[in-house]
């Protein structure tokens, strides 16, 4: 099964900035989904923080990652996820369960990657 990426913000192929748009266009849509997280407006971009609270739901879309490790590496670079230095990364790439919201598999949980904000959020 190919890797999936949950997108809730600027990585979406329809709204990706020029710096990552050519890579984002290589992602194939899988369908609408939700994850348990809190969404924050961080100014120039959104960020999610995973949550155990069932009331914390973030809607987004699942995309199929091409079978090319350079794609994920480019996304990691854009999101400032440093595999060798996660503590100093702006975002972390983490595995989560997403719940499909559309199609014949609606309600099914599926494992995927998501970029989560890696700093304290205080508002």
**Coil/strand/helix, residue 53:** coil
Give me the residues paired with residue 110 across strands: 98
Q: Does pTM surpass 0.85? A: yes
Range 3-27 average pLDDT: 96
pLDDT band at 1 (very low <50, low <70, confident <90, very high): low
CA dist 8 and 115 (Å) reads 9
Residue owning tokens 């350079």: 70
Which pLDDT tens digit goes with each residue over 46-71?
999 999 999 999 999 999 999 999 99
Q: Which domains are present in the chain?
A: 4-117 (3.10.490.10)
pLDDT averaged over every residue in the chain? 95
For residue 44, count other CB atoms closer than 10 A to its CB. Answer: 7
């Amino acid at each position: 099964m190919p890797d999936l990426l949950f997108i809730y913000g600027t990585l979406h192929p329809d709204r990706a900035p020029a710096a990552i748009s050519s890579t984002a266009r290589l992602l194939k849509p899988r369908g609408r989904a939700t994850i348990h997280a809190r969404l924050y407006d961080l100014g120039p971009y959104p960020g999610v923080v995973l949550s155990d609270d069932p009331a914390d739901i973030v809607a987004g879309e699942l995309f199929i990652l091409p079978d090319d490790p350079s794609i994920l590496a480019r996304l990691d670079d854009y999101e400032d996820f440093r595999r060798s230095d996660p503590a100093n990364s702006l975002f972390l790439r983490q595995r989560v369960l997403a719940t499909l919201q559309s199609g014949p598999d609606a309600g099914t949980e599926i494992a995927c990657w998501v970029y989560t904000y890696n700093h304290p959020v205080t508002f």
